[in-house]
Amino acid sequence: MGAMPSPTVVLVPVWAPGHFSSMLQAGKRLLLCSSGSGISAPFTLTVLVIPPPMDSPAPALTSEASSQGHCCEMASGDGGVDFHHLPAVEHSTDLPGHPSEYIQLYAPLVKEAIAGLASPVAAVVVDFFATPLLDVVAHDLAVPAYVYFASTAATLALMLRLPAIYEDVVSARFREKRGFVDVPGMPPVPVASMPSPELNDYSWFVYYGRRFMEARGIVVNTAAELEPGVLAAISDGLCTPGGDRAPPVYPIGPVLSLNNKPRGDDHECVRWLDDARPPASVVFLCFGSRGWMDAAQAREVAVGIERSGQSFLWVLRGPPAGSSPYPTDAELGDLLPDGFLERTEGRGLVWPSWAPQAEILAHAAVGGFVTHCGWNSVLESLWHGVPMAPWPLYAEQPLNAFELVACMGVAVELRVCTGRGQGNFVEAAELERAVKELMGGGKEGRKAREKAVEMKAACRNAVEKGGTSYAATQRVVQDMLESYAPK
C-alpha cells in the first residue's frame, strides 16, 4: 500500500491582475514556509482558475499579461503548484457586473473540483470576492476555509464594521459627501475618502463583512508595521460589535512579484533613467492597469509638470477601446499641448504604453511617485522607499490615499476634484504644488521621504526570518496543518 499523498492547499483567486498575481505569490510563500521551516508535513498548492467573464478580458490570464509583466505562471506542476482550469459556464450577457455574482455561478464546479482532487485537502483559500464559495467549501465540503485579502487591513476593518453602520453610510449625508465614517484604528475618515463604488455596491461590502466571520482565518497582504492601529482594532473586536470577534488575521505582506531579471534586457524607460539621472531626481507618474486620461486632464498634468521644473517619467495611456476596461496606447499628439514634448525633451519622458512599474520604482533615480493608490502599487513603492502623491481613481483607492497621508505619513496630499463629470480631476496648479512638495523642500515632503525610508526597512524586515510577516506566515501554515485530519 503506497504512502498517502501530501495534503494540498487549494487557492481560488479571481482574474483581476492585482488579485490573481498577489494571491499566487501569497500561496507560494505559504508553500515555501510549509517545506522549509521545520514543519513536518509540507503541502502542495492547487490553483483553481476561474475564467473571466467573456465581456471582461483579464490581463492576468492572457498573453497580454506576459507582455505586461503580470505573473501568470500557468505551467501545471511547476514547483509544487498545480493549476486546474475550470470550464466556462453559460451566463447571461446582461449579468450584473459585480464579480461575486459571476463567481457564484462557479460554486458547483468548484465543489466538484475540490472533491475530485487526488490529494487530501488541508485548506481552501478564497479571494475575498469569492466569499460566496464559503457555502460549498466550509459548509458542504467541511474543509477549513480562509479568505485572502489583497487590499489593506483598513479596508478589511471597514468591511467588518459596515454591517453595524450600513444605514448611516448610505444616508443622505453620505451621498452628499459630508461627514466622517468611524473605521476603528484610524482617524475619522472623511466620507469623500470612502471607497468609490456606487452606493448599492456597499451592500456587497456588508455581505463580505458578515461572511468573513465564517472563515477560519483571514490572510492579508499587509505588514504589522504598516497598519498597527487597524490590525489591533480588528484583533480587539472593535470592528465587530456585539461580542463576536473576527477570525484570526494573518498579515503576511508585503506580497509582491519582484522580477529580478539580469540587467542588459532593460525596458526603454529604465534605460532613460540610467542616462545620468541623479539619485532621487525623477518623479514617476503611473496609474495602474485601468488608468487613462482624456485630453483635458492630460493637458492639466502637462502644464503642472512643466511648471514644476521637475524631471519626470510619465506613463500616459489612452481611453479603452470597445467594451474593454483596459486602456490603449496613447496618441500623444492628441492628448498633449502643442510643443510640450519639445520643451521638456531631455528633462522628461512621456511613455504611451505599458511600462515596468516595479523596475522603475526600484531605480535610484526615482524620488517620488504620483500613483492611483492601487495597493500593489503602494506596496511596490514602499518596498523601494519611494514617497507618494496619491491620485485615487476607483474602488478602495480613496481610502488607501487617506491612509497613506493621515496614518502612514509616506505621502503628500494631492487634492482631487470630484465634481467634474468623470471625477478625479486634478488641476495643473495642484499637481505643480504637490510635485514640488514631494520632490523638494517643504515640511510635508521631508516627512514623507523620511517615513518612506523607514517603511522600506520595515517591509523588508517583516518578511525576513524572525520578522512579523514571516511569523504570521508560519502561524497560518501551522494552523492549516493542525486543522488537517486525513480521513
**Residue 372 is among the residues annotated as catalytic for this protein:** no
Beta-strand ranges (E) seen in 252-373 are 282-286, 311-315, 317-318, 328-329, 348-351, 366-371
**Residue 127 is among the residues annotated as catalytic for this protein:** yes
Cell triple for residue 168? 448611516
Cell triple for residue 419? 465634481
Cis peptide preceding 254, ω within 30 of 0? yes
Catalytic residue (one of 82, 127, 363, 372): 127
Distance in angstroms between the alpha carbons of the first and the last residue of the chain: 16
From CA 366, how far away is CA 364, in angstroms rounded?
Answer: 6
From CA 208, how far away is CA 126, in angstroms rounded?
Answer: 12
From CA 230, how far away is CA 148, in angstroms rounded?
Answer: 17
Catalytic residue (one of 19, 70, 363, 372): 19
| Residues 6 or more apart in contact with residue 413 via CB below 8 angstroms | 389, 390, 405, 434, 444
Phi, psi of 177 (to 5 degrees): 65, 40
From CA 299, how far away is CA 316, in angstroms rounded?
Answer: 11
The C-alpha angle with vertex 457 and arms to 455 and 462, in degrees rounded to 5, equals 90
Cell triple for residue 172? 443622505
Which positions are annotated as active-site residues? 19, 127
